[in-house]
Structure 1
Amino acid sequence: MKILILGSGGREHALAWKIAQSPLVDEVFSAPGNPGTDKIGPCFDLDITDLKAVQELALQLNPDLIIIGPEAPLAAGASDALRARGFDVFGPSQQAARLESSKGFAKDLMQKYGVPTARYGRFDDLTEALDFLETMEAPYVIKADGLAAGKGVVIAETLEDAENTVEEFMTGKFGEASSEIVIEEFMQGEEASVFVMTDGEGAIYLPVAQDHKRVGDGDTGPNTGGMGAYAPAPVVDARTLELVQTMIVEPMLSGMAEDGMPYQGVLYVGIMVTEAGPKVVEFNARFGDPECQVLMAGLPGDIVPALLVCATGGLAGAHAQLCEMMGLSDFRPSAVVVMAANGYPGTVEKGSVIEGVEAADAIDGVTVFHAGTDVNADKKLIAAGGRVLGVTATAEDLRTAIAKAYEGVDAIDWPGGFCRRDIGRRVL
């Protein structure tokens, strides 16, 4: 098989790395890719939200499967355009991807299908939004309705902070993405990430992961796209996972199919484990980043057959066989520490030289995934984004996996970057 992966981050590097190990795969193409995926197969520099350019590349390469990594091309309708050209695509339709591209749409669907989530209101009028805040209790959760690169959620501790955030959002902080907002009640509990691979009917549940969203140790500072993750996360026990399946995933998949927008691909279910049971924090229409890195590193088997069946149908009849091929029952505990450029999640300095990635990669059980890297004129690896590297490790237990990931971090010489030093603190 030839497989094309759209995207350029750590998630896409992890997918390319895992897919390239499959005996079914001859070539892995990436667009636009990064210096990490460039070592796996050819990269093609293009804007993956430019549907014409994406279709032209697909027609040129003629891949057997196309995997759409990030949310932007899904929201732009890339999967629909490629399917219309006859390609098999792992990734939901534009309509189904609105679960991520519109927080209000997702909340309305949850309400319609009876899926447990926080009380909310959605607004495109500033006065109405400020009035709604008066009916809520602190802390306040304010979300941009559209895509804001993982930064469109603020938890405000006081009414004044909440009012200021609402005003900032609705007067253009994230442009069109925050012209409409969702205000939610704050849910007490612990967050976890449940990933479900689906063809719209059947479902494969991957090991539960836990992400670390805040930029600083001890979960301090602003929200980010994710500073690290580990799996499996013991916060979700078998009973809780059963409730996620019966109260959240099954109603969503069956409801969306009945409403003419069957969901194909991976459904990311961000849940809050509360005293009243699991409730949905958010849905994403793709693998999480950095959770994808720990999932790909920890799976010992071949994920390609499952990706293909999710894209083409027939998952329910092949479920047991696909789970066995992936090695789900033998998943190895895994952890990733994100190294970010100084200043992240605000303004970051680009161009700083990174040394020692090869030394980190040489440590047993450690793999360094590239997220925001580039190569300068001197062929040196440099920082080219906010989140730059995902130092990932697997081991016989989580404690050892986390320690190995930090051993990898310490082998990297990059004064221009930083990381959290407490990834996995809850489980430890």
Structure 2
Amino acid sequence: MTFQDLNLNTPLYNALDDLGFSSPTPIQEHAFNVVASGRDVIGIAQTGTGKTFAYMLPILKNLKFSKQENPRVLVLVPTRELVVQVVEEIEKLSKYINNRVLGVYGGTNINTQKQAVAQGLDILVATPGRLYDLAMSRVLQLKSIQKLVIDEVDIMLDLGFRHQLINIFDILPERRQSIMFSATMTQDVDLLIYDFFKNPERVSIAVSGTPLDNIKQNRYNVPNFYTKVNLLTALLQDEERFNKVLIFVAYKRMADRLFEQLDILFKEELCVIHSNKTQNYRLRSIEQFKEGHNRILIATDVMARGLDIDNVSHVINFDTPEYPENYMHRIGRTGRAERKGEALVFSTEKEQESITNIEHLMKMDIPVLELPDHIEISTELIEEERPQIKEHNNPTKRRDIDAPGPAFHEKIAKNKKENLGGSYKFKMAAKYKKPKTRGDKNYNKRNKKK
């Protein structure tokens, strides 16, 4: 099948020709008519199969020219980097179409974005937090939204965007088309679909969690952090094979720690991104990695979603992700656009349960490779790997988790008084023998005789 069979318009055909695309991927082929019909859609396909074009091609085909200021299409994504990437993809397809596209995300000046919104737009790509801030400021009006696209919804829920998503649903028009695309579907996502989608049609190219066949997977059993560093260093020295390497770690502190270890040897070949880095630093690091100025990029799981970087030779899981879905998104950064890729995962003894969960999700075993003989097995442990010493018989070491903290202090006497509410006046009347009403003089006379 070719794009000619999808009955697109001439501007889109010209844009696809410029990009060198002639045939749609399976998700693009199967989702086109469903999205174009106006029904709510749930799309499931492996990462790297062109999901952005799958929902944007039918939307752009039917998007008529308009001079109205408020946006008609809203695309929600979880990270700032994905906002930038989706805007770039839409602009590529819109090369011969007269429409206005804007991306907004946190970490930058909101006033600049308010000015851009006020100039008018047709398609808005946003992270949930910044979108809600703009909507609450009344600068952004969502009353004209006809199509809502949620990309990588499961990571949005993992990042704690659930309440913001619900708030956004509440201020969107009820009559709209809702579209959701992801590589994995979780129970939380199903609940969101049940609450806010109207009889959606599912377009499933692969069972949730199915890896791409063109990604070769292997794993190493490694005892600790420093042995992992020794193994990784040995692998990365083969520059011809490991020519563009994306290394994933669990959290920001680990990313910085690994960067310090590898920087000794690789220096200019190395860069790192995580949420504590400035937005300009993160975008610059991704751009340098894309263009080949840096051969090695260290990233956290937040960066695993949606990053479309060509020709990544290897994805290395420096640690085993706790959630199997995160593993699927990590390895999906290689083997994109039907190219071949390779994924490696390093696992300690404590991480074996996570490996089992990943293999259960994929319904396949990851082959285990033996550690090369020249790799030094380190005995040094980092803080997280050291055993926690519990002195059960030492009362001075025991900590009561319910005990008040160091800032706790007792209330002064006047603040300990009981709040008696409406019964207070009756208790005072009984105590001081005050008249029940101001004119009850006989009551006072009786009490004086007594």
The TM-score range, normalised by the shorter chain, is under 0.3
Larger Rg belongs to: 2
User: Whose strand proportion is higher, 1 or 2?
Assistant: 1
User: Whose helix proportion is higher, 1 or 2?
Assistant: 2
After TM superposition, the score normalised by the length of structure 1 is: 0.28
